[in-house]
Amino acid sequence: MGTVFYNGVQYNEVPMLYDIVRDELAIQQPGGGYRIRLRTEYVAAFSLGGYLFSRIVGDSAAGVPTGFYEVLYNGRTKALSHRAKTIHEDISSGAYRADYVQKDRFYILTDGLYHEVKSKRSLLNLFPDQAKSLRKYIRANKLKFNDAQREAAVTQVTKHYEELTK
């Protein structure tokens, strides 16, 4: 169950599924049966299971592809995550095998521009005025920027930056 902002209207308590492979939102008909895929260009945002997703229309100037982005931190500076899964098919062993490969990309929205965060350095370069304080915070909290912990680190550092610049 979740909330969806569709074509300018908010709908609450909607049974829905988010298809991360197709980057589409589907709703379940009342009474069961089949699912309906919503037209993504009409979905502005949705929340599902305590997570908030926003649709961003990207272009070459924005620096992000069009799609749904999870809002990790929502302040003056926003931390976002774009999750994508692709199907990796393999028939080299003589048998068909398919695996899902997930790729998460993290972005910071500052001054109307999206900046991809791939490492600690790329994050600190976005906040040069507070880089020294943020380095201390990262060290004190033992934040890591490897694939498994990057989401938490980006979220915490962005939140701390907001606290420093109030």
Give the highest mean pLDDT range of 4-18, 51-65, 99-113.
4-18
pLDDT tens for each residue of 72-94: 999 888 999 998 888 888 888 78
pLDDT tier at 7 (50, 70, 90 boundaries)?
very high
Q: Tell me how far CA of residue 84 lies from CA of 19, 27, 161, in angstroms.
A: 10, 20, 27
pLDDT at 60 over 80: no
pLDDT tier at 61 (50, 70, 90 boundaries)?
low
Q: Is 11 exposed, middle or buried (0-12, 13-18, 19+ CB in 10 A)?
A: middle
pLDDT tens for each residue of 117-161: 888 898 889 888 888 889 899 889 998 888 888 888 899 999 998
Per-residue model confidence (pLDDT) at position 85: 84
Percent of the chain clearing pLDDT 90 (strictly above): 27
Per-residue model confidence (pLDDT) at position 92: 82
